[in-house]
Amino acid sequence: MEVKGHNGTIEFDGRSVTIKRKGMLARVTSGKGEKQIPLASITAVQWKPAGAMVDGFIQFALAGAIESEGRAGSATSNAGKYENSVLFTKRQMPQFEELRRAIEMARDAPAPEAPSAAAPSVADRMRQLTQLRDDGLITEGEFETKRREILSEM
């Protein structure tokens, strides 16, 4: 998903948010370039809707970042200077609302389970069993019983 704002473009691929800036407005506010933010690093999404006369913004708070609070009435102008914010107009707002929902749904989704360790192969189990017998940790009878059990699972 890609959404173009007043002072930058945001791309969201389900795993990270990329803020891209180019042009004169970017140069005089937060600087040209590109910033990729992993979804797991975003601790909050701040949202201010656009009005008839004022731009809105979406801003991403990151773990460990120090956020400064501006004086009343200057939230949008401050957000325009913050590298993790993108301003948008009233006409652009519906696309930014869709982006915001997608990001928040992805953040709220349960983390995928880590793949479980693969079970040892029959050959690996037989090597381990043989090593236990050779080291004298199990008897020949215990070895034969366990060997038959392993082979019967094939």
How high is the pLDDT of residue 81? 62
Q: What is the pLDDT of residue 110?
A: 76
Q: What is the mean pLDDT of each run of 10 residues along the chain (154 residues)?
A: 90 92 63 82 90 90 64 52 84 94 87 70 88 89 90 80
Q: What is the pTM of this model?
A: 0.60
Closest CA to 95 of 58, 62, 59, 61: 58
d(C-alpha 149, C-alpha 32), whole Å = 66
Closest listed residue to residue 42, CA positions, set 124, 105, 116 = 105
Q: What are phi and psi of 43, to 5 degrees?
A: -95, -20
- Domain 2-108 listed as CATH 3.30.1490: no
For 69, the 3-state DSSP assignment is coil
Alpha-carbon distances of 13 from 114, 131, 141, rounded to whole Å? 21, 49, 58
Q: What is the pLDDT of residue 10?
A: 92
pLDDT value of position 26:
55
Q: Which amino acid is at 135?
A: D
**Spans of all domains in the chain:** 2-108, 122-152
pLDDT of residue 20: 92
Q: How far is CA 126 from CA 145, 146, 147, 152, in A?
A: 12, 9, 7, 12
Radius of gyration of the chain (CA): 28
Report the pLDDT value the prediction gives residue 2, as an integer from 0 to 100: 93
Distance of alpha carbon 78 from alpha carbon 11, whole angstroms: 22
